[in-house]
Amino acid sequence: MLNASFYITVARIADLPQDSSAEVAFAGRSNAGKSSAINTIAHYKRLAFVSKTPGRTQHLNFFRVAEQRFLVDLPGYGFARAPLEQQRGWQGLIGGYLESRPQLHGLILIMDSRHPFTDLDKRLLAWFRVTGKPLHILLSKADKLTRSEGLSTLRKAQGQLAELAIQGSIQLFSSSKRTGVDEAEAVIRGWLNLPAGKPATPDGGQKKPSSRE
Ligand SMILES: Nc1nc2c(ncn2[C@@H]2O[C@H](COP(=O)(O)OP(=O)(O)O)[C@@H](O)[C@H]2O)c(=O)[nH]1
Ligand SMILES: [Mg+2]
């Protein structure tokens, strides 16, 4: 398991921590379940505040999981009522970070399994593809789907990713039911060059991070 502790909140690119060697960022629409996913994967209650008022956080929150290794909670996007100026600032911060951060080793994109690939998700994906960095998608709140719905949602999402010509791995995930936690953790450990965690299930922790080659 990953054990994270809060490290720093950053509002400007210039303030990004220098004592970092590897980071994994979490992105997603407001309310997609991003904070819950980070809390679940990092085994820390209220690590990233589970918000009832989505879109209010306009900062990058860094959580330390090992020496010079961080999880980074990016501001949620697609909050319709955010003023345009705020959205621009957000884009500058998130775009600047994703584009120019050498320590960024991979992106975890959280999409609600009941309505993945919104226009904003597609824009982020098209944009992030240019960086050439690894991508892993969590189809969140999978507990809201039956087992067969979940499987067909996963297949369909894999097809959509291929259609968009985007390389990346994708899985079902539920913070409530703790589904897919081992799989997600294994990807993150791989990207951060951390030793493999002890899987909670026989086939957990086996999935390799997506290859760009
Ligand atoms: N059923 C279900 N609800 C979830 C899950 N994860 C998050 N939620 C709910 O979705 C809402 C948004 O979650 P949050 O983690 O704050 O999303 P964020 O805005 O992307 O950080 C909250 O009401 C959560 O309780 C999940 O795995 N299953
Ligand atoms: Mg949040």
93-113 pLDDT, tens digit each? 888 899 899 999 999 999 999
Going by alpha carbons, the residue nearest to atom 10 of ligand 1 is 33
Examine the pLDDT at 83 and tell me if it is beyond 80. no
Please tell me the predicted confidence (pLDDT) of residue 93: 81
Going by alpha carbons, the residue nearest to atom 7 of ligand 1 is 33
pLDDT exceeding 90 applies to what percent of the chain?
Answer: 60
Q: Which residue has the higher pLDDT, 22 or 55?
A: 22
Give the ranges where the chain is alpha helix by DSSP (H): 34-42, 84-100, 119-129, 147-163, 181-191
Instruction: Find where tokens 């879109």 sit.
Output: 55
Q: Is ligand 1 within 6 A of the CB of residue 61?
A: no
Distances (CA, A) of 76 to 12, 64, 87, 189: 16, 20, 10, 23
Examine the pLDDT at 82 and tell me if it is beyond 80. no
Please tell me the predicted confidence (pLDDT) of residue 75: 84
Examine the pLDDT at 31 and tell me if it is beyond 80. yes
> Rounded distance, CA 77 to CA 74, Å?
9
Of the bound ligands, which one is closest to the alpha carbon of residue 27?
1
Find the mean pLDDT for residues 56-76: 87
Q: Is ligand 1 within 6 A of the CB of residue 76?
A: yes
> Rounded distance, CA 197 to CA 105, Å?
19
Find the mean pLDDT for residues 22-46: 89
Instruction: Find where tokens 């010079």 sit.
Output: 68
Find the mean pLDDT for residues 140-158: 98
What CATH number is given for 5-191 in this structure?
A: 3.40.50.300
Please tell me the predicted confidence (pLDDT) of residue 204: 44
Q: Is ligand 1 within 6 A of the CB of residue 101?
A: no
Instruction: Find where tokens 């291929």 sit.
Output: 162
Find the mean pLDDT for residues 73-92: 68
Of 25-39, 83-97, 141-155, the range with the lowest mean pLDDT is 83-97
Identify residue 27 by its one-letter amino acid code: A
Q: Is ligand 1 within 6 A of the CB of residue 30?
A: yes
pLDDT category of residue 90 using cuts at 50, 70 and 90: low
Sort strands 69-73 and 60-66 into parallel, antiparallel or unpaired: antiparallel
Please tell me the predicted confidence (pLDDT) of residue 202: 47
Average predicted confidence (pLDDT) for the chain: 85
Examine the pLDDT at 207 and tell me if it is beyond 70. no
Q: Give the HSE-up count for residue 110: Cα atoms under 13 Å, Cβ half-sphere.
A: 30
What is the number of the ligand 1 atom nearest to the C-alpha of 175? 27
Per domain, the residue ranges of the chain are: 5-191
